[in-house]
Structure 1
Amino acid sequence: MVLISIAQAQFFFLALTRVLAVLSRLPVLGGQVIPTSVRISLGILLTLLLSPWQSITPETPALTLLPFAFAVLRELIIGLTAGLALDLTFGALQTAGELIGLGSGFAAGRYLNPLMGDSGSVLDQFFVMLTMLIFLVINGHHRVLTALAQMFEVLPLNASLNALPLDEILHTTSLLILNGIQIALPVFGALLLADLGLGLLARTAPQIQVFFLGLPLKVGAGLLVLAMSLAYTLPGLIALLEQIGPRMLSLLGG
């Protein structure tokens, strides 16, 4: 008969807190569309497989209430900080779709995106779904799980938490925002040229209803340039998702 001490149960709960905090920021495994019972069951299974809580001997003294509460808060901060890399990666690609939709007129129609938990345009949803598909094709979930296991080596359970690398967090945030803008730049540039052309047309021929002419023109131009530039943006998109595991560890100083 296997007996589990209070200290082992506490360390398991700490590991579970960290795992669930990371999974809550990953739309594929722990998004809002996944039922809570499934997310908790998946978190328990991953904690049993990945965390080193079994190394705690039954003779280890249990934590009292206040140190245990601080330990839970520390693990929650660690998990959410690592999950910030997931938020920034998917958010940067969502920003690319938002920028394209804003210039092409698709931003006028918005609806709820259950994967990200907020509203977005049609192109916004397209980029999110495309990102999810590529993420699964390149086994991005395996990279996240590998990084999750390495987190217990970089920051062991109930270890002292040093100051988080704010410079690395700010650098990663700015880099991912820049990548999102670069993905949207070809379409955004084409839409800007279309606006300039429509402005010149309105000057030379005022009798033409530029507003009614420009709306379908910009929609068609946006979709055409997006289809043409997709082959050039996909390698950068894949490279962005392939580095998601190391990015999670870098935010923790690993």
Structure 2
Amino acid sequence: MTFNVTILPQVALLFMLLFARIGTMLMLMPALGEGSISPQVRLGVALLLTLAFYPLVTPLYSVDATSPLPRIGYLLAMEFAIGFFIGLSSRIITYALSIAGMIIANQSGLAFAMATDPTMDGQQGAVIGSFLSLLGITLIFAFDLHYLVIAAMHDSFRLFPPGGGLPVGDMAEMVTMMTAEVFAIAIRISAPFLVVGLVFYFGLGLLNKLMPQMQIFFIAMPLNIAVGGLMLFALLTTMMMWYLAHFQTALGRFIAG
């Protein structure tokens, strides 16, 4: 029995180009690319997705093993750039919960209670922000929204065909728009806490003027924390459903209709 190995260089080249895009996207994508997930697991998922997409998207590549090295290097750089753009744009979505958590913590008097946020590569963040971020990731898997992440990876080959130029202007506009939306969503999620905090601190200011000899803000701090905690648990379901709807809409931009 003889084996034809002449196609192996072509298979290896296409697999490398495909893995460059998929691996870069998975490194930055929400849910599947979280820093709390073991690097070995993420690498294994990237390899499995590359194998799954290989027969579907390799016909789109107009390159072979005999192509000039600059041509191969150009295609490889484009794959890295496209994967980085889509992955980073998707990662921006998850920052809405961290920003909202910081705003809620400031209004609830818990801004100095810091904890490690696994969704931000181990950086310190407000406890409420870390809790909301972890809850958001859990709900993404619970509601099967991680399939949208995989669909966005697949449809990226239709939105950005291999070998084509990069629409730098459109990409910059989309990143700017998504960044603005993240802050808008964070403000909407934390809007009830902003309103209650404004009224609460306005009332404390009046009491402080009426009774300047009493440490009003020190006495009212436990009440502020209690009110913030009650509001958080009362509004948690609404807040997370709003976030999941935004997550689904944002990722839908990378899914070819």
In structure 1, list runs of 5 or more residues that go unmatched.
none
For residue 18 of structure 2, the aligned residue among 15, 19, 23 is 15
In structure 2, list runs of 5 or more residues that go unmatched.
none
**How many Å apart are 1:230 and its aligned residue?**
2.6
1:171-214 deviations in whole A, cap 9, x for unaligned? Answer: 22212220111001101221121111111111001122123213
Structure 2 residue aligned with 1:39? 42
**How many Å apart are 1:20 and its aligned residue?**
1.2
Once residues 182 and 117 of structure 2 are traced to their aligned partners in structure 1, the CA distance between those partners, rounded to angstroms, is 21
Q: Match for 1:74: what amino acid?
A: M
TM-score normalised by the chain length of structure 2: 0.87
Alpha-carbon contact 2:193-2:228 (below 8 Å) kept: yes
**How many Å apart are 1:27 and its aligned residue?**
4.4
Q: Match for 1:240: what amino acid?
A: H
Once residues 79 and 167 of structure 2 are traced to their aligned partners in structure 1, the CA distance between those partners, rounded to angstroms, is 13
**How many Å apart are 1:119 and its aligned residue?**
1.3
For residue 142 of structure 1, the aligned residue among 135, 143, 147 is 147
Structure 2 residue aligned with 1:156? 161
**CA distance 1:243–1:158, change in 2 (3 Å):** same
Once residues 90 and 133 of structure 1 are traced to their aligned partners in structure 2, the CA distance between those partners, rounded to angstroms, is 12
Structure 2 residue aligned with 1:208? 214
Alpha-carbon contact 1:98-1:123 (below 8 Å) kept: yes
**How many Å apart are 1:47 and its aligned residue?**
0.7
- What is the count of residue pairs matched by the alignment? 251
For residue 193 of structure 1, the aligned residue among 187, 194, 199 is 199
* Larger CA deviation: 219-228 vs 61-70: 61-70
For residue 104 of structure 1, the aligned residue among 102, 105, 108 is 108
TM-score normalised by the chain length of structure 1: 0.88
Once residues 9 and 62 of structure 1 are traced to their aligned partners in structure 2, the CA distance between those partners, rounded to angstroms, is 13
Once residues 62 and 185 of structure 1 are traced to their aligned partners in structure 2, the CA distance between those partners, rounded to angstroms, is 59
**Percentage identity across paired residues of the two chains:** 26
1:96-140 deviations in whole A, cap 9, x for unaligned? Answer: 111111222222021222232121111011110121122112211
Structure 1 residue aligned with 2:252? 246
Structure 2 residue aligned with 1:133? 138
Q: Match for 1:175: what amino acid?
A: E
1:207-243 deviations in whole A, cap 9, x for unaligned? Answer: 2212321321221111122222234333322211222
**CA distance 1:61–1:103, change in 2 (3 Å):** same
Q: Match for 1:82: what amino acid?
A: I
Q: Match for 2:31: what amino acid?
A: V
**CA distance 1:163–1:62, change in 2 (3 Å):** farther
**How many Å apart are 1:2 and its aligned residue?**
5.8
1:235 aligns with 2:241: yes
Structure 2 residue aligned with 1:77? 81
Once residues 118 and 184 of structure 2 are traced to their aligned partners in structure 1, the CA distance between those partners, rounded to angstroms, is 25
**How many Å apart are 1:61 and its aligned residue?**
4.4
Alpha-carbon contact 1:18-1:76 (below 8 Å) kept: yes
Give the ranges of 4+ consecutive aligned residues of structure 1 lying more than 6 Å apart after TM superposition: none
**How many Å apart are 1:249 and its aligned residue?**
4.8
1:95 aligns with 2:74: no
**CA distance 1:204–1:28, change in 2 (3 Å):** same
Q: Secondary structure at the match of 2:28?
A: coil
Alpha-carbon contact 1:14-1:71 (below 8 Å) kept: yes
